[in-house]
Amino acid sequence: MITGRTVTVLLAAVGSTALLLACLVLLMRVFLILRTRRQARCLATWEPILLEATQSGPPAILPRLAGADVMTFLNVWNHLQESVIGTASEGLNDVARRVGIPARAARRLRYGNLRERLTAIVTLGQLRERSAWAPLCSYSREADVSLSLAAARALVHIDPPAAVKHLIPLVLARADWPAARVATLLVAFGPDLVSAPLAAAALAAPPEHAPRLIRYLDVIHAETAMPAVRRIIRLTDELEVVTACLRILEDPEDLEIVRRFCEDPRWQVRVQAASALGRIGLPEDVPVLRRLVSDREWWVRHRAAQALVAILAAEPAALDQLEATHYNEFARHALSQARAEMRLQ
């Protein structure tokens, strides 16, 4: 039985909760307005100083940086650091040290919430703060992907050679690190520093990890690692590894390796072989590509057609004849498309 008292309590609860929520929303908006104004004041003070620091060095006298403004300062400071290089960066570091950022960032690294810790990690990396090496190493092993990757990047900034030794095993072990972010990290190292250890890791890696590492070699343009890639493709028959290697072969001396895979029973391999021939193939590869352009798999036909168009680019008559006389209708379609695409480029 529902009594009047129950209903009164229920209505009062609903009404007061609604009122409370509405007040909370308004309060949050008030705080947002105040916060935005404070941030605007902070930016109005510090943005010109930081911009001046990137160009002609910091001014002799700097204003005091209040605790409540540190995060705003770090956001704009980090943003500028990511946008400048060389002495401009030094100017920013000078300003940061003079307002006590290393200690403030270290405190946030230890006690801050997730956002503060992430910001602190980026800051300490940009400052090349050696004293933060140990905690950053520890963070690079964290389960949280954002924290661990940010820490890894910071380590690269602080001491690249030492970071290579620490991070390459992590790159191998952390399948949860997004490939695109790892690649950005490795690019930051530069090919000279990371090619050899990465290539060695790729050689020693189990088949399920090797393709990922090989792709990284391609992204960092590790020409010095190509001997390792050639060795890997000779030693293994694992699909993912073979296709990863074929994807990055682009030296004419790799032609013999590529040709061997043109008749592979696996279509994924034939696709990459056809693509590779498009990069390094010669006119004597045309007969092989003629066969591949009538392959039962669409992607093989498509890549083979593109390869033929690339190789015979200077012989339009030969392409005309090929397109007109190929016995396979799908092959003719693929060639027609590849040629039309080439004309539009």
Residues numbered 315 to 334 that lie near other proteins (CB under 8 A) are: 330, 333-334
- The one among 18, 66, 103, 204 contacting other proteins by CB under 8 A: 18
Pair of tokens at residue 22: 């509405």
Instruction: Mark the segment that binds other proteins (CB under 8 A) among 159-167, 175-183, 198-206, 308-316.
Output: 175-183
- Check binding of 115 to other proteins (CB under 8 A): yes
- Alpha carbon distance 217, 219 (integer Å): 6
Nearest residue to 236 (alpha-carbon basis) of 270, 219, 272, 211: 211
Query: Per-residue string for binding with other proteins, 201-240, x by CB under 8 A?
Result: --------------x---x---------------------
- Check binding of 270 to other proteins (CB under 8 A): no
Pair of tokens at residue 262: 């043109």
- Check binding of 82 to other proteins (CB under 8 A): yes
Q: What is the DSSP letter of 138?
A: H
Q: What are phi and psi of 144, to 5 degrees?
A: -65, 120
- Check binding of 119 to other proteins (CB under 8 A): yes
- The one among 63, 100, 169, 178 contacting other proteins by CB under 8 A: 178
- Check binding of 173 to other proteins (CB under 8 A): no
Q: What are phi and psi of 331, to 5 degrees?
A: -65, -40
- The one among 302, 303, 322, 326 contacting other proteins by CB under 8 A: 302
- The answer to whether 217 and 247 are in contact (CB under 8 A) is no
- Check binding of 145 to other proteins (CB under 8 A): yes
Largest CA distance in the chain: 94
- Alpha carbon distance 246, 82 (integer Å): 34
Angle at CA of residue 151, ends 147 and 157, nearest 5°: 150
Instruction: Mark the segment that binds other proteins (CB under 8 A) among 62-70, 79-87, 90-98, 200-208.
Output: 79-87
- Check binding of 176 to other proteins (CB under 8 A): yes
- Alpha carbon distance 232, 250 (integer Å): 16
Q: What are phi and psi of 325, to 5 degrees?
A: -110, -5
Which residues contribute to the site for other proteins (CB under 8 A)?
Answer: 2-4, 6-7, 10-11, 14-15, 17-18, 21-22, 24-26, 28-29, 32-33, 75, 78-79, 82-83, 113-115, 118-119, 122, 145-146, 150, 176, 178-181, 183-184, 187, 215, 219, 298, 301-302, 330, 333-334, 336-337, 340-341, 344-345
